[in-house]
Amino acid sequence: MDPPSTASPAGVCPPVDICTSIYFNNGVSEPAEELDAALRALADGNRRRILALVRERPHAVGEIAEQVAMSQQAVSHHLRVLRGAGLVTERRERTRHLFGVRTDGLRAVRDFLDGFWPSHLAALKHAAEAEARRDA
């Protein structure tokens, strides 16, 4: 099965669909919906700031809004996206909803990025060994 082709101007790489890339490069045969959702959520700087904040300890929407200088409505929107991507948890404490990081939600992203390391580490090892031979 060949990856779908997209027309692009000469010298410009066509856009890569992350699912297509994973399927054809890593042998994954099912859609990587969890990874896609996490990457889409993390693509927004405001959501990354919110995630970094709730990483320290759970926060209520009002606290998050104050810390990141956004309206509560905007923060609630970003939290819905993060929660939908499985990156934050929500728990009720009396009348407050507290949001904290869900580290398991980052597993798909971490696993995807870890796939890039073996070839880079092998190249680094090769370069270090070559330099050691030159110095010897």
Q: DSSP labels for 61-118? A: HHHHHHHHT--HHHHHHHHHHHHHTT-EEEEEETTEEEEEE-GGGGHHHHHHHHTTHH
Q: Which domain holds residue 37?
A: 33-135
pLDDT tens digit string along 53-94?
999 999 999 999 999 999 999 999 999 999 999 999 999 999
Minimum mean pLDDT range among 11-20, 69-78, 92-101, 103-112 = 11-20
13 located within any domain: no
CATH number of the CATH domain containing 89: 1.10.10.10
Residue 113 has pLDDT above 60, yes or no: yes
3 inside domain: no
12 found inside a domain: no
Q: What pTM was computed for the model?
A: 0.65
End-to-end, the C-alpha distance of the chain in Å comes to 49
Q: Is residue 106 part of a domain?
A: yes
pLDDT at 28 over 60: no
Residue 63 forms part of a structural domain:
yes
User: How many domains does one find in the chain?
Assistant: 1
pLDDT value, residue 14? 45
| 24 occurs within a structural domain | no
108, amino acid identity = A
